Structure 1
Amino acid sequence: MKLTEFKFDGASIHISSEGQGVPVVLIHGLSGSGRWWRHNTAALIQEYCVHVIDLAGFGQARRQKALGVREAARLVAAWLENAGLMNVTLIGHSMGGHISLHVAALSPERVSRLVLASPSGLLRRRFRQSVLALPQALVVGRKRFLAQILGDAWRAGPRNLLISSRDLLRDSVQDILPSITALTLIIWGARDVLVPLAIGDMLVHSIQGSRLVVIPGAGHVVMVDAAPTFNRLVLEFLAESRDVKTGHV
């Protein structure tokens, strides 16, 4: 595994990279870290070069101020350009999906596929409402993952959590959805109480050619709650979309 840090405009992200082939970039959500993808990377590195990002203010990049979603997207887009990555698949969870949409709009020539796991980009909810929904969201998901969630939140700290949560609730991706050209798969947990499934319905009707899949029994952290199903859906989507891009059937 290769570990790198990319600095741009006073902020940095940490990236762990493994595997060979077409690049797949994983972006975690609010209060998360790259470790939230540990149930998914093994399935992906068999066929792809997987880059797992720790966003500014979180995970290995936690010793700095968190960025707003659009600032974070500019930082990720700058890294894609600096690394010379093309034909990229972005896989983002919650805030990471929100950021992925902005990256796809900023770098359409580099981002060819999107997998959005319960993205927050159209979430219209007051800050207090989101805070009140957190306890229920925590108990819905896989109990063994709760320690990881709480540990990453503690490491990020209340300041970074507050900055990020308030910014993502203020920001909307509605203005950029018509410009998204990447082939898009949207995955939702049927028991997600933090980001309602209705947002998935709005996204699939707003992103041309996108597809929405709902996984029964899974909560907000769908790639952990239903990892085998999530991995299968992603691998099938990547294989299908590769054939579409190359003109194969």
Structure 2
Amino acid sequence: MYERDGARLHVATTGHGPDVVLIHGLSGSGQWWRHNVPALSREHRVHVLDLAGYGRARRQRALGVQAVARLVAAWLEERDLHDVTVIGHSMGGHISLHVTALVPDRVSRLVLAAASGLLRQPLPRVMLALPGALVTGRKRFLPQIIGDALRAGPRNLLISSRDLLRDSVQELLPAVHVPTLVIWGARDALVPVSVGRMLAGLVPGATLHVIPGAGHVVMVDAAPTFNRLVLDFMAEGRGEGG
């Protein structure tokens, strides 16, 4: 557990090698990466975060995306981690962009999976899209989604939802100067593929991959493809000197 100014992150670390940080999305937890960690940790040291208010760090009030980013950046600095690949899903991708802006000397690669940073919709419309997002994904993952949402509670979900919809990363994107991979599910009913195309177009040199048949939780719906894309991307980065 990492704590700073009363806010806490739960960090689970496994594997050895270059550092990878996994940041889950709204209503999620570190368990959302369980189909990815075994593949990623074979040649990397993988740090799975549970954000303040969620998962194993749920017994506290959730923070806004920029406040969480400051907490993650402080953890990277205190652990003195360098050459880090940051992988964020949905709200976690949104947070990852802020982390990269805060500590650009520590983040060397960025993976944005269905990131919410450019999503501009009223909160009621987003809430109405949630059922569609659930039914387009893997049904076996539904108990995890529902359980994590219940553990976080309505207050934390509302705090995070309101804040991420108010916060835009658009001004940050032209200054992202690390190799960036954008991954989206073609059937994402929550954050449309059009947002992914816009995001990839605004980050210099970013590459977009849209995975057919996958929904919003793309790293679960298409885990083998997601893992291959990420591993190939990190290998290319090391080949270029990181």
Distance (Å, rounded) in 1 between the aligned partners of 2:39 and 2:55: 22
Distance (Å, rounded) in 2 between the aligned partners of 1:191 and 1:123: 16
Match of 2:120 among 110, 124, 130: 124
Deviation at 1:84, TM superposition (A): 0.5
Q: Could you state the TM-score of these two structures normalised by the residue count of structure 2?
A: 0.99
* SS state at 1:50 partner: strand
Q: Which residue of 2 aligns with 1:163?
A: 159
Distance (Å, rounded) in 1 between the aligned partners of 2:95 and 2:170: 13
Q: Which amino acid aligns with 1:159?
A: R
Deviation at 1:8, TM superposition (A): 1.0
Q: Which residue of 2 aligns with 1:204?
A: 200
Match of 1:187 among 167, 183, 187: 183
Distance (Å, rounded) in 2 between the aligned partners of 1:188 and 1:201: 9
Matched, 1:57 2:53: yes
Q: Which residue of 2 aligns with 1:87?
A: 83
* SS state at 1:245 partner: coil
Q: Which amino acid aligns with 1:87?
A: D
Matched, 1:38 2:34: yes
Tell me how many residue pairs correspond in the alignment.
242
Deviation at 1:245, TM superposition (A): 2.3
Match of 2:16 among 3, 6, 20: 20
Q: Which residue of 1 aligns with 2:143?
A: 147
Runs of at least 4 residues off by over 3 Å: none
Distance (Å, rounded) in 1 between the aligned partners of 2:27 and 2:58: 10
Q: Could you state the TM-score of these two structures normalised by the residue count of structure 1?
A: 0.96
Correspondence list, 1:93-104, <5 A: 93-104=89-100
Matched, 1:174 2:161: no
Distance (Å, rounded) in 2 between the aligned partners of 1:88 and 1:217: 30
Distance (Å, rounded) in 1 between the aligned partners of 2:162 and 2:183: 24
Deviation at 1:192, TM superposition (A): 0.2
- Unaligned stretches of 5+ in structure 2? none
Distance (Å, rounded) in 2 between the aligned partners of 1:10 and 1:99: 19
* SS state at 1:109 partner: coil
- Encode CA deviations 1:50-99: one digit per residue, 9 max, x unaligned: 00000000000000000000000000000000001000000000000000
Deviation at 1:179, TM superposition (A): 1.4
Distance (Å, rounded) in 1 between the aligned partners of 2:95 and 2:241: 24
Percentage of identical aligned residues: 68
Distance (Å, rounded) in 2 between the aligned partners of 1:34 and 1:116: 16
Q: Which amino acid aligns with 1:14?
A: H
Q: Which amino acid aligns with 1:200?
A: G
- Encode CA deviations 1:111-167: one digit per residue, 9 max, x unaligned: 000011000000000000000000111000000000000000000000000000010
Q: Which residue of 1 aligns with 2:107?
A: 111
Matched, 1:225 2:221: yes
Distance (Å, rounded) in 2 between the aligned partners of 1:176 and 1:9: 26
Q: Which amino acid aligns with 2:240?
A: V
Deviation at 1:49, TM superposition (A): 0.1
Distance (Å, rounded) in 2 between the aligned partners of 1:157 and 1:233: 33
Match of 2:132 among 133, 136, 143: 136
Q: Which amino acid aligns with 1:235?
A: L
